[in-house]
A and B are shown apart, each in its own frame.
Chain A
């Protein structure tokens, strides 16, 4: 019966427009401090959800609840048809197999090389042959353009390169959902764009659903208004998004643990709320 249900869920999730993440009336407080008051949103398969908000508004907390690193006080969280708010640490491992998370500052393992970082999950948590893992690591590093740094230590890389290696580590095991926690914070605009381009490429060329947490408006709009295409020669290009593609990126603005805006890039630009206007200015 359980197998039948899982099959059914898988079939539903395979269809276009399926909800891969549902965040339903989630609440969380640490002692007296309320982080999330009542937050609900849905991420559709292949779409992008961009969560904006000032520091301390609960953006990163929402991501940690989705991965199961934090447990909500109330509300329901579905990821790929599984209620993560009810799973224990061991059960969460199967949910995490389909989730890639990029942490603030990258959170690379500083005692491991780039190769070991990128292939970490495959080397440590899978039974794949080493040659196959090495091939996948080289392929992923090639995808993000850091193939020549494979044997370096994280401390030898620049800030932007470290973030891109973190993206490579998260995508190496081919998750269908990526969560970016302030992936471009602290980077200069040019370096930030190299990271943004990887986010766009993963979404448009690999069909990955994404949640992007940021307070960098420039990067948020860049990801929402651009798309990746592969030309006839097989080269990847980042070009302005079509209106349909733009609508697949939805913004959420959090303020003191509540959603104060939800809509696409055009709706955000047209918003009249004083807080949003101040945030956008």
Chain B
């Protein structure tokens, strides 16, 4: 039992060490040559544009459901007219970043882990190295940049679509006047909320993509290993999104409010 625990601890420490080494190398690679511009542009398209539909749909229905549920609760206090405040504050400060993050884990994290894992087990990563290319610069840096910079943009769009979803429900189901809804939306927002709504997805995007790259590049065991890596990237990424969100929220509350 102790031996098992020791092995688990050593393995966990090794994973953390390798993850940190990958992150340090990727950050250094982002600020030095060679820099693969073409791959960076491609990843902005794959990660950013490719994730737009799923993130927008999630945002829309979350905002709509939030307005519907919030309306029921607010009715008890006669607060139906302020449903816009509830939707905007919840979407921008918390649900937007977290749900967009979870959607990115499912769509981007799994894809990265599967793609890099397949490249490892078919010796394509070794072939890259043998051809004089650093896989971190070629594969990790473009994904890291795209994930980190596109996550806030996707989240902002998701927040907006969520608030629109909330407006549709408020207007046609809760019978709240449009003017009342939109004034409540803006009344609830402070600059600190905007910062929180941008900083959180920036960090979450970075964490999601680097975890997926780390897991993908550590793949072993053929196609079965690729499957395991994909699952691990989604599980570890999802837990990381929730956990990192909590800690970043605590930090930002201390710093901003």
Binding site for B on A (CB under 8 A): 64, 67-69, 89-90, 93, 96-97, 99, 101, 103-105, 107-110, 120-121, 124-125, 169
B124 and A125: CB pair below 8 A?
no
| Contacting pair B122 A69 (CB below 8 A) | no
Q: Is the CB of B127 within 8 A of A101?
A: yes
Which residues from chain B contact A103 at a C-beta distance below 8 Å?
A: 123, 126-127, 130
Please name 8 pairs of A and B residues whose Cβ atoms are closer than 8 Å in the assembled complex, sorted by A: A69-B129, A96-B131, A103-B126, A107-B122, A121-B131, A121-B132, A124-B133, A125-B132
B34 in the interface, Cβ–Cβ < 8 Å? yes
Name the distance in Å between B3's Cβ and chain A's nearest Cβ: 15
For the A-B complex, the count of residue pairs with Cβ-Cβ distances under 8 Å equals 51
With CB as the reference atom, state the residue of chain A lying closest to B128.
Answer: A109
Chain B residues numbered 5-53 whose CB sits less than 8 Å from any CB in chain A: 34, 36
Which A residue's beta carbon lies closest to that of B36?
A124
A97-B132, A125-B132 given; A64·B124 CB < 8 A? no
CA distance A109 to B123 in the complex (A): 9
Residues on the A chain within 8 Å of B131, using CB: 96, 120-121, 125, 169
Q: List chain B residues, Cβ under 8 A from A110.
A: 122, 124
Say whether A96 contacts B130, CB under 8 Å: yes
Report B-chain residues with C-beta under 8 Å of the C-beta of A104.
123
Interface contact A89-B134, CB-CB below 8 Å: yes
| Contacting residues, chain A, for B122 (C-beta < 8 A) | 105, 107, 110
Complexed CA–CA distance, A121 and B133 (Å): 8
Contact B130 A101 (CB under 8 A): yes
Q: How far is the CA of A125 from the CA of B35 in the complex (A)?
A: 10
A115 and B8 alpha carbons, distance in the complex (Å):
46
Centre residue among B36, B124, B127, B129 by max chain A CB count within 10 A: B127
A residues less than 8 Å from B36 (CB atoms): 124
Known pairs A99-B130, A109-B124, A120-B131; list 20 more (Cβ under 8 Å).
A68-B129, A69-B126, A69-B129, A89-B129, A96-B131, A103-B126, A103-B127, A103-B130, A105-B123, A107-B123, A107-B126, A107-B127, A108-B127, A109-B127, A110-B122, A121-B132, A124-B36, A125-B34, A125-B132, A125-B133
In the docked arrangement, what's the CA distance between A68 and B126, Å? 10
Task: Name the residue in B127, B131, B138 with the highest tally of chain A Cβ atoms < 10 Å from its Cβ.
Answer: B131
Q: Which residue of A lies closest to B127 (CB)?
A: A107
**Bound-complex Cα distance A102 to B123 (A):** 10
Q: What residues of chain A lie closer than 8 Å to B34, measured between beta carbons?
A: 125
Measured CB to CB, the nearest residue on chain B to A68 is: B129
In the bound assembly, the distance between CA atoms of A96 and B127 in angstroms comes to: 11
Interface pairs A-B: 4 shortest CB-CB:
A107-B123, A107-B127, A103-B123, A101-B130
Q: In angstroms, how far is the closest chain A Cβ from the Cβ of B31?
A: 15
Chain A residues positioned under 8 Å from B128 (CB to CB):
109
A109 (CB) vs chain B CBs: closest residue: B124
Bound form: Cα–Cα A124–B134 in Å: 11
**Minimum CB–CB distance for A185 against chain B, Å:** 13
Q: Which chain A positions have C-beta within 8 A of B138?
A: 124
In the assembled complex, the CB of B139 is this many whole angstroms from the nearest CB of chain A, namely 11
Instruction: Look across to chain B and name the residue whose beta carbon is closest to the beta carbon of A124.
Output: B133
Contacts of B126 in A (CB 8 A): 64, 69, 103, 107
CB distance from B94 to the nearest CB of A (A): 37
User: Cα distance A52–B221 when bound, in Å?
Assistant: 25
Q: For residue B225, give the distance in angstroms from its CB to the closest CB of chain A.
A: 16
Chain A: minimal CB distance from B207 (Å): 25
CA–CA, A103 and B121, complex, Å:
12
**Complex formed: what's the CA distance from A241 to B123 in Å?**
34
Chain B, 174-192, CB within 8 A of any chain A CB:
none
| Residue of B whose beta carbon sits closest to that of A120 | B131
List of B residues within 8 angstroms of A109 by Cβ: 124, 127-128
Q: Mark B102-124, 1 if CB is under 8 A from A, else 0.
A: 00000000000000000000111
> Which A residues are in CB contact (< 8 Å) with B129?
67-69, 89, 96
Contact of A107 among B124, B132, B133, B134 (CB under 8 A): B124
Q: How far is the CA of A116 from the CA of B78 in the complex (A)?
A: 66
How far apart sit A26 and B184, CA to CA, in the bound complex (Å)? 73
Interface string of B133-171 (1 = CB under 8 A from A): 110001000000000000000000000000000000000
Most buried by A among B36, B123, B130, B132: B130
Chain B residues with CB below 8 A from A169, complex form: 131
Report Cα–Cα, A68/B36, bound state, in Å: 23
Assuming the A-B contacts A103-B123, A107-B123, A110-B124, are A67 and B130 also in contact, with contact meaning beta carbons closer than 8 angstroms in the complex?
yes
Chain A positions within 8 Å of B132 at CB level = 93, 96-97, 121, 125
- Give the residues in chain B near A67, CB-CB below 8 Å: 129-130
Q: How far is the CA of A121 from the CA of B130 in the complex (A)?
A: 10
B127: A residues at CB distance < 8 A: 101, 103, 107-109
